[in-house]
Structure 1
Amino acid sequence: MVDLKLTLSYSLSSALALAFAFVCCCSSMASTMDSNRLGFGGGNETDRLALLAIKAQIHQDPNRPVMSSWNESTHFCMWHGVTCRRRHLQRVTELDLTSLKLSGSISPHIGNLSFLRDLLLYNNSFTNKIPPEIGHLRRLRKLGLQNNSLCGPIPASISKCFNLIRLDLSYNMLVGNIPSELGSFSKLEYLSLRVNNLTGEIPRSLGNLSSLGTLDARSNNLVGSIPSSLGQLKKVKYFKVYSNRLSGTVPPSIYNMSSLLILSIAHNQIQGSIPPSLFRTLSNLQFFSVLENQLTGKLPPSISNATNLVGFQVGDNKLTGQVPKLQKLRNLVIFSIPLNHLGSGRDGDLSFFSDLTNATQLMALIIGANNFGGTLPASISNFSATNLAHLLVDENKLHGSIPAGIGNLVNMKALGLSDNMFTGNIPIDIGKLSGLGILGFQINRLSGSLPSSLGNLTSLSYLELQGNTFNGTIPISLGECHSLLLLDLSRNNLSGDIPPQVIGLPSLSIYLDLSENRLSGSLPLEVGKLKNLGALNVSNNMLSGKLPSSLGSCVSLEFLVLQGNFFDGPIPSAMASLRGIQELDLSRNNLSGEIPEFLAGFGLLKQINLSFNDFWGAVPIKGVFNSASATSIVGNTRLCGGISDLQLPKCKSKESSSRCMKLIISLVCTFVVLGIAMLLTFLFLCSLKKKSKASPSSTMAVSILQVSYSTLLKATDGFSATNLIGAGSFGSVYKGVLGNDGAQLVAVKVFNMLRQGASKSFLAECEALKNIRHRNLVPIITACSSVDFRGNDFKALVYEFMENGSLEEWLHPITGIEDAPMTLSLIQRLDIAIDVACALDYLHNHCETPIVHCDLKPSNVLLDNDLIGHVADFGLARVLSRLPNNISANQSSSIGIRGTVGYAAPEYGMGSEVSTYGDVYGFGILLLEMFTGKRPTDHMFVDGLNLHKFVKMAFWERVSEIVDSSLAQVGNPSQSTNDALKECLSSVLGIGVACSVESPIDRKSIGDAISELKTIRATLVG
């Protein structure tokens, strides 16, 4: 019985023990499941910690904190941009942070997201290197890092992501060679490395990418030849390696890529010829571009087999022979073969024109700078009237008349027939081409009168008819072409007066050339409307009369050539405003009087020719007159003095007159000094009486002579609304007149003392301006720190009045106002940009203590009568030293935000200290706005796109599409003028991009920006 009880007792104990163990096990399993469900266990915890480490190295836009959901209160699978898959126990499989205005760097912890399939970080501003730890992502299928600012080499470890299908590293700043390890991607379908700084050769191993459909390595610095191994890429549809430094020949194996749709090897140094069988092998080819290489030989007849061809570009090579049959190319949109040696110079060379009438989508036919002979076929009138926009046949050996049917091509934008031997008249129906922007008939043998129908071409920007034998008068109807930037009618037989409607076209900004004709009459007063014109040439005509004083209004003139006419009288004093003149030729006229001294003060004047006139008196010795090689004055028998190299007789002594003048000057100076001393004494006594009423901090402006409240009240007509010219954050600006005689126009900035921070803004501006002087800073005349008639604090600053307003008004004129400012020319914009940069350089590097402006934008750049830029509004400026209240000026301040949205440096939004880098960023944005015409706050800039990225994405390749419409030039690619303009615009925008990069220390220095801008300007005008 006892044994039985013991047995039962033992069995019961064992059962209880087993039950307890089972409950504990179940509890543990439940706890583990709960932990996994919350993401805090095992692999899930690894992903969570990796994401937090990634976030730690990312900077967000403070106005759009898109990663605010990345916190402990939310499961990481619910975080913005994070995607998890339940079948992988909630492991992260996709990280998509595209177009979120993020910056910083990519954390090495990215390699811990071992289940990641898609990593998409494009359209941001990430910097630094691509972490090699990306190679740990063995499941990765898509890697998109394009359009950032990543630098350093491409890590070879990426090759360990052997499941990659798409790899896009384009539009960054990557350097070094393309790793040969990339050839191990057996599944890769898309590889883009375009627009970086990659060097070295194209690895042969890329030929192993058996699944590749796109290979894009354009716009780098790659060298060497194209590897023959790439011929193994049977699935490639897009092969783009243009804009590199590749050399050698194209290996025949490349033409085995039977799936190719686009083959672009342009802008390299490729040699050899185009294989005859090319277009038979690549039967699917749609776009073929090998322009700007060193190819020789003939165009293969097999081109007729490429029935899918849309674009064909072989320009700027050394090709010879005839153009083969093209009648089967019905899908052609672009056919461009300029700058070769094609054609025989005889009739029949352009027989292929009739073949192209089948290409109903043809938009551009460009055959300039070849050896084509014969006539322009009448079949040209059968081209697609609704599509053909560019017809450029210039610089050939074509003769005969211009076909009348050319007027049927109503969609024409650019028509170039220059440098041929065309004869006859300009067809009257040319006026039907109302959308024409460029018309070039120069250097031919055309004759007859200019048709009045030219006035119907209201979209014309370029009209070049020089070097023909046109006669009759200049059509008054040309005055209707309000978009003209350039007009050249020189070297013809035109006669009669210059129509005021034509010479007064205010749109003319590049040059106006009417030289070497038989024009008579006077130079019309309307010439003064050419405020934006860069060059005016009316030489070698029969013009007479006095030079109009309105010439002084042509403030942008750099070249003024009037020689070989019958002008008489003196040089107008109004021409003293032409301070941008670089070359002035008034020779072989009947001009008289003394040589104006103001010509010696023109700092940019490099050549002056006053020969064979009737000038008398002393020749100046300063400026351009200090160089005998730059000055020509022969044929003026009554001149004297000058430098010794001119070998002129000495001027007669005027010793007695000089002694009298010295005595008068001495007396005047004495009285002036006494008067100033008395005035200063009076003001000092007055200031002692008012000291108790003045603000204690007004001593900040003690170095600036002050005026009273009543004086400013009178000067602005009681601060009337009619004199209001602007309003800002802390007050308003009024136009005023100081002095009883109304001799001085001023701008009075009145601070709103009820606005928080206005007093500090006044002090900041006084502190910044009291010891600085520079030609590109708005000069301050005086200040007022007093009380108004009601006993309220009154503070104001008085500046010189800038007659041409702000840069903002010129870049974005208000529509519907009759007197809206005219468009700024390219040269004027360059000059203003240089002015602003020089002002910043002075503030940052040449003041006793560096000054940061903190609010650079177009409305704070004012333009004087000569369109010289002046930086204004120092209300947010910081002096990088200790202020009297012992607060460091490069720390945060209660005055307000450091600048204006869109122009303020991104680091300011993150609490960084004020620095000169911030001004450089503002200058970069200002430069981009000046040349694109788009504000940084434009409504188009959303979803991560900003002005910097907008320009960067279109850089070099699509410059003409993004620049201000008044600057964009689309024309004959063989014309050096257009190339120079595009190169200029590209270089300027490049400076703007380099100044406005995300990282402050990576921004271009303001000194380098000035040097490069000046070089661009010199190249353009040279």
Structure 2
Amino acid sequence: MTLSTSASGRVSHVAAAIRGSLPWTSSPRNWWGQYHRTLGILSFLRELQLQNNSFGNEIPLELGRLQRLQILMLSNNSLGGQVPANLSRCSNLILLDFSYNMLVGEIPVEIGSLSMLTRVYIHDNNLIGSIDPFGNLTSLQELSAAENIFDGGIPNGFGRLKNLQKLALGVNRLSGVIPPSLFNLSSLTMFDVTVNQIKGSLPWDLGYTLPNIKFLNIGDNQFTGSIPVSMSNASKLHYLITVQNKLTGKVPNFERLQNLEWLSISDNQLGSGEAGDLSFLSSLTNATNLQLLGVNMNNFGGILPESIGNLSSNLEVLYLDNNQIFGSISSGIANILNLQSLYIQVNHLTGHIPAEIGKLQNLQELNLVNNKLSGNIPSSLGNLSLLNELILGANDLQGNIPSSLGECENLQLLYLSQNNLSGTIPKEVVAISSLSIYLDLSQNQLSGSFPMEVGNLINLGSLDVSGNLLSGEIPSTLGSCVLLETLRMGSNFFQGHIPSSLGFLRGITELDLSNNNLSGEIPEYLEGFDSLQELNLSFNNFEGAIPTKGVFSNSSRVSVVGNSKLCGGIAELQLPECNYEGDKKTRSNSTFTLAISIPLGFLGLGLVVCALYICWFRKTTKDNSSADSENSLFRVTYQSLLQATNGFSSSNLIGAGSFGSVYKGVLDGRIIAVKVLNLLRQGASKSFISECEALRNIRHRNLVKVLTACSSVDYQGNDFKALVYEFMVNGSLKEWLHPNPNEDVSNEEFRKLNLLPRINITIDVACALNYLHNHGQTPIVHCDLRPSNILLDKEMTAHVGDFGLAKFLPNVAYDSSTNETGSIGIRGSIGYTAPEYGMGSVVSTYGDVYSFGILLLEMFTGKRPTDEMFKDGLSIHGFVKKALSGDVSNIADLTLIQQAEDEGEDEEEKAETSMEKSNKQSFVRGQKILECLTLVLEIGIACSLEPPRERMDINDAIAKLHSIKNSLLECDIHG
């Protein structure tokens, strides 16, 4: 008899005799959770398939009663707990599938008695301990135990499994050596132990003893020795992967491996660095199905064989980089028509780049950097319409940059630096609007003016044309490249003024215009570039007063040497004082005009000001009286902050972050928090500027209020920067969620947060994000939302702080559906940072929503996203998602579970005479708490989804959290 269901909840087949006795509800998930003991009456059931239902419970012991059961498939159900030992009673089992669940613990030794078991799938769980029990399954044909936490060695018993065909043990913690007897299993077709700690060498006769092997993966282990010569005898092999080991010696002939699809032997110590190392490539010409060939990051020497052009036309990826290959690139490489990625960088190649490469219509990535290639860049490369990356730097290429490259309409990165290229920059090249990552033409002999078409590069992040012979003026169209973060134009012959249009490059972090013939005054808009970290204007002909704010306030970030007509600026720049006396004669001629015009102008202006002042005075008199006390803190000095914090005493230290330390202080009778920036830390100054800018115009009850800022020097003459905030008496959320076990807390209850206060805090944080994203003058992305940056006042109201990594979104292009800005790279703290930032995506409000989701999961499970349990592919998101369908009390913070019990106890204390009513109320309250916990965690999951656009909108999150809060209040849950 067969009982099987899918996630739809329908029974595909069940014997008519028992159909009426099964208590099916609307879905098998409900049936499993409430009535799985019914399984005990199905003693004659032979097949049970309940997959993709997300039951969430443990595997019931009642399964052990199904002694006639032959097939048991419970994959992808979020099952927890351990594998029950009494499954050994199901002596007729031939297939067992527990894959894609959350099983823990060790495999019971009793499982080894299932002598009829042929297929076992337990991959993608959290199982630990030894895999020894499987060595006793004499009928075993397939075992998939990958993606677990098994340790120890591979038992010798596996060598006695004469019927074993597929063995997958990858991504565990297995160690030791592979039993020699295992390599004698001629029936073996798949052997995968990738990502373990296995050592030893491969047996010399491996190709003879495993004649049927199709998939062999020993990558990311500690294997030594050489690849056996006999490997060529394994003619049925499709995949051979030995990456990231310590293999040495010569690679054998693979002439008989005609079925090979993947050959990846990268990142070893293969080869001798001498001629003949790559001769094995010629033997691969018989592998007509080869799709990937990776021999990079080894010690291969010799020339690149001509036979490389005879490799399979199906080859898509070819990795030859980071070796010692010399000689030229064969033009025959154009025969590999389906090639998509060609990497031969960091070798000793010479000769020309074959023009025939232009025939590879599917090529997307071409990297030849760091070789000794010469000659011209073939114009035929312009035929590669799918090309994304063209990297030819650090060679000896000559001639002009071919204008045909402008036809590469999908090009995102063009790197031609450190060659001997000459001529002008083709306007077609700087008009490729798809260029978004990098355009580097530096360190060449390029001449002429910079094309005005550069304004088409509106998506470009970095532009480098330094070290050339370029002349003329800097094109004003550069101001259209609003996503630029790096602009290097130094060591050329540019002249004229810095265009005013560059004032639109608000996100730039590095600007180098040094060693040119630029003149005029330094634009004042540069001091307003908050992201600017490095500014080099040295050795030009600039004149006039140098600005003093922004980047100009730190001499370590700005260079203006070699400009003899500059004056003023901060003292560290050591420039002469500015002389503001003009031509006396000219001044005397204008004296009479000024004497008449100035008084008349002031008279008219005064009348207007008086009228406006009367209106303003009536409106603000009342407000000003209440604001006087706050305004008294507007200006503070280094000395006043030193005194307020008792010399920045360690006894006043209340916290330390990425860019500085926070001290408690008293200023003018008011308790304050002073954040002192550590300016020796890279990025600290930028953090100070970002925070000042972010907090300048935002006001919200759930944002930390900055009272003032101090930018000065200390008594040793060092730069000093600090921010002064309102003091939050209840510290940070981190201190409440993860109290220091060594801290002496007199009242342990002080650091306990029950459910309702946590809900209130999440609503406060969500409201703060909503304001920053949608209701401020300029949309702001916080970029570092985590418990330590959420502070609590005396009423336990949450305030989001630390805007040191905040990023402004451009108003002109802002759209809540596509809210992105051009800052590329990882921003924020490990565990809370959105995954797309790690892949180079731009900053967006979606990133804050992701951090908010992780924060929710942490607040209600009590587990940090960086907890040691979250490794080997398991994250807090995945952990909670798998557990949600089961008993949420298994993953919830113990404080919240204890609250559910305390609620019931309070009811019982109220009236001993009504015990039954009290118990009922206790049950209802406890269930309500668990229900609300589930709903909150579901919000956390929805906010922390990997695809950014699939995450829950922050407004929807606020609405759902308010609904949960109201539900708690209706049930009178204690706070």
Range of TM-score over shorter length = 0.5 to 0.7
Secondary structure of 2:223's aligned partner: coil
Counterparts in 2 of 1:494 and 1:349: CA distance versus 1, 3 Å: same
What is the Cα deviation at residue 639 of structure 1? 4.0
1:527–1:228: structure 2 CA closer, same or farther, 3 Å change rule?
farther
1:308-387 matched pairs, under 5 angstroms? 308-385=236-313, 387=314
2:82 and 2:501 mapped to 1: Cα distance? 60
CA contact under 8 A between 2:24 and 2:31: conserved in structure 1? Answer: no
Instruction: Pick which of 468-477 and 419-428 moved more.
Output: 419-428
- Among residues 939, 943, 951, which one is paired with 1:923 in the alignment? 943
Partner SS, residue 551 of structure 1: helix
The answer to whether the Cα contact below 8 Å between 1:120 and 1:143 also exists between their aligned partners in 2 is yes
Deviation at 1:1000, TM superposition (A): 11
The residue that corresponds to 1:445 in the other structure is 372
Structure 1 778/356 Cα, relative in aligned 2: closer, same or farther at 3 Å?
A: same
Match of 2:813 in 1: 804
Aligned ranges 1:537-686 → 2 under 5 Å: 537-650=464-577
- The DSSP-based 3-state class of the residue aligned with 1:560 is strand
1:256 partner letter: N
Query: Residue type matched to 2:293 in 1?
Result: L
Alpha-carbon distance change, 258 to 584 in structure 1, aligned in 2, over 3 angstroms: same
Question: How many Å apart are 1:532 and its aligned residue?
Answer: 2.2
Is 1:261 aligned to residue 189 of structure 2? Answer: yes
SS state at 2:48 partner: strand
Name the residue aligned to 2:441.
Answer: 514
Are 1:480 and 2:499 matched, yes or no?
no
Could you tell me which residue of structure 1 aligns to residue 698 of structure 2?
none
Gaps spanning 5+ residues in structure 2: where?
Answer: 582-586, 588-593, 622-763, 779-808, 821-835, 860-929, 963-975
Which letter maps to 1:369?
A: M
Q: Does 1:224 align with 2:152?
A: yes
1:466 Cα deviation after fit: 0.8
Partner of 1:460: helix, strand, or coil?
A: coil
SS of alignment partner, residue 353 of structure 1:
helix
Deviation string, structure 1 residues 850-878 (Cα, Å, up to 9, x no partner): xxxxxxxxxxxxxxxxxxxxxxxxxxxxx
Question: Residue deviations 1:205-239, cap 9 Å, x none?
Answer: 21011222222122233333222222222222221
Cα distance between partner residues in 2 of 1:520 and 1:110: 84
1:776 maps to amino acid: H
Q: Determine helix, strand or coil for the equivalent of 1:466.
A: coil
Gap change, CA 1:197 and 1:560, over 3 Å in 2: farther
- Which residue of 2 is the match for residue 833 of structure 1? 846
Q: 1:639/1:382 Cα in 2 relative to 1: closer, same or farther (>3 Å)? A: same
- 1:355 maps to a residue whose letter is S
Partner of 1:144: 73
Distance 1:400 1:91, change over 3 A: same
Looking at structure 2, the residues matched to 503 and 393 of structure 1 have their Cα atoms a distance apart, in angstroms, of 30
The residue that corresponds to 2:450 in the other structure is: 523
- CA contact 1:127–1:149 (8 Å) conserved in 2: yes
Superposition pairs of residues 32-431 of structure 1, within 5 angstroms: 80-81=10-11, 83-86=13-16, 108-109=36-37, 111-115=39-43, 116-198=45-127, 200-385=128-313, 387-431=314-358
Distance 1:224 1:558, change over 3 A: farther
Give 1:617 deviation, angstroms.
4.5
3-state DSSP class of the match of 1:512? strand
- What's the CA shift for 1:502? 1.2
Secondary structure of the residue aligned to 2:175 is coil
Specify every segment of 5 or more residues in structure 1 that has no aligned partner in the other structure, as ranges.
Answer: 1-43, 61-65, 68-79, 682-766, 782-799, 812-822, 847-909, 931-935, 937-947, 949-990, 1002-1022
SS at match of 1:552: helix
Distance 1:409 1:631 in 2: 51
Against the structure 1 CA distance between its residues 354 and 616, is the aligned structure 2 distance closer, same or farther, given a 3 Å change threshold?
Answer: same
SS in 2 for 1:205: helix
Letter paired with 1:252: P
- Structure 1's 929 and 201: CA in aligned 2 closer, same or farther, altered over 3 A? same
Cα separation, partners in 2 of 1:217 and 1:641, compared to 1, 3 Å: farther
Give SS of 2:135's match: helix
Counterpart of 1:84, as a letter, is: V
Give the residue type in structure 1 aligned to 2:507. G
Give 1:426 deviation, angstroms. 1.4
Aligned AA (1:362): L
Identity %: 44
Q: Distance in 2 between matches of 1:774 and 1:187?
A: 63
Conserved 8 A contact 1:773-1:779: no
Are the aligned partners of 1:96 and 1:120 in contact in 2 as well (CA < 8 Å)?
Answer: no
Shift of the alpha carbon at 1:562? 2.0
Q: Over residues 502-538 of structure 1, what are the superposed CA-to-partner deviations in whole Å (9 max), with x where a residue is unaligned?
A: 1121212221111111112222222222222222221
Letter in 2 for 1:833: Y
Structure 2: how far apart are the matches of 1:363 and 1:844?
A: 42
Structure 1 residues 107, 465: CA separation in 2 closer, same or farther (over 3 Å shift)?
farther
Alpha-carbon distance change, 186 to 504 in structure 1, aligned in 2, over 3 angstroms: same
State the SS of the aligned residue for 2:487: strand
Match for residue 776 of structure 1?
A: 773
Contact 2:268 2:298 in 1 (8 A): yes
CA offset digits 1:477-512 (Å, max 9, x no partner) = 111111112111111111112112211212122211
CA contact under 8 A between 1:776 and 1:838: conserved in structure 2? no
Deviation at 1:476, TM superposition (A): 0.9
Residue 418 of structure 1: how far off its partner (Å): 1.5
Instruction: Flag the structure with larger Rg.
Output: 1
Distance 2:18 2:421 in 1: 86
Q: Distance in 1 between matches of 2:854 and 2:545?
A: 39
Instruction: From the superposition, tell whether residues 260 and 629 of structure 1 become closer, same or farther in structure 2 (CA, over 3 Å).
Output: farther
Deviations 1:451-489 (A, max 9, x none): 111011111111111111111111111111111121111
The root-mean-square deviation of aligned C-alpha atoms, in Å, is 4.8
CA displacement at 1:663 relative to structure 2: 12
Equivalent AA in structure 2 for residue 370 of structure 1: N
The C-alpha deviation readout for 1:77-128, integer Å capped at 9, x for no partner, is xxx3163325x66587999999x99999586536435334333332233335
> Which residue of structure 2 lines up, in the alignment, with residue 851 of structure 1?
none
TM-score by length of 1: 0.60
* Residue 916 (structure 1) shift: 6.3
Q: Deviations over 1:898-941 (max 9, x none)?
A: xxxxxxxxxxxx9989976565454345x5154xxxxx7xxxxx
Match of 2:428, SS state, is helix
> Shift of residue 134 of structure 1?
3.7
Give the 3-state SS of the residue equivalent to 1:776 in structure 2: helix
Aligned partners of 1:663, 1:272: CA distance in 2, in Å?
95
Q: CA deviation at 1:402?
A: 1.4
